[in-house]
Amino acid sequence: MPFIRIAVAGRSLAAEQIAALQEQTTGLMVDVLGKRREVTVVAVDTFEARFWSSGGLPLGGDGRCAQMEAFITAGTNTLPEKQSFLAAAHRTLSAILGAADAPVYVVIHELPASDWGFDGVSQAARREAALAT
Q: Where are the domains of the chain?
A: 3-132
How does pLDDT run along the chain (133 residues), one tens digit per residue? 799 999 999 989 999 999 999 999 999 999 999 999 999 999 999 999 999 999 999 898 788 999 999 999 999 999 999 999 999 999 999 999 999 999 999 999 999 999 988 899 888 898 888 888 8
Distance CA 117, CA 125 (A): 9
**3-132 CATH pick, 2.160.10.10, 3.30.429.10, 3.40.190.10, 2.60.40.10:** 3.30.429.10
Distance CA 11, CA 122 (A): 38
| Stated pTM of the model | 0.92
